[in-house]
Amino acid sequence: MEAIIALIDQYAAVDHAARTRRAQAANAEAGFFNGGVAPFGYRSVDAAMGAKRRKKLEIQADEAQLVRYIFGLATSGTVRTLSALLISLRC
């Protein structure tokens, strides 16, 4: 009997994980942020999706300027390593 209950629990856990992944993928496809800490250069803001409240990412201008500078260094080939980037940024 315990084996049957364990199988049912396992099936429920796998099903729940699959539904969660589908919901997160649909959320991202609709342009919403799935949560956690917002990446550097962005902030999380409230957005409406029908009756539900969701989060979207919004660019933070002051941080975005630094991100653009770092990517510019990386794409130009000026900086090839993290240590060279830190030296360039004077950290």
Least confident of 23-32, 35-44, 82-91: 82-91
The residues, ordered by sequence, that sit 6+ positions from 32 with a Cβ below 8 Å of its Cβ are: 47, 49, 54, 55, 56
pLDDT value, residue 88: 84
Domain with 12, as residue range(s), is 1-30
Residue type, 47: A
**Looking at the domain assignment, is residue 54 inside a domain?**
no
13 within a domain of the structure (yes/no): yes
- Give tens-digit pLDDT for 41-88: 999 999 877 777 889 999 999 999 999 998 898 889 888 888 888 888
Please indicate, yes or no, if residue 6 is contained in any of the structural domains. yes
Domain total of the chain:
1
Q: In this structure, is residue 81 part of a structural domain?
A: no
Phi/psi zone of residue 88: left (φ > 0), alpha (ψ -120 to 50 degrees), beta?
alpha
Provide the total of helices (H) and of strands (E) in the chain, helices listed first. 3, 2
Q: Residue 64: what residue type? A: A
pLDDT score for 14: 95
90 domain residue, yes or no: no
Domain-embedded: residue 15: yes
Closest among 4, 53, 2, 60 to 27, alpha carbons compared = 53
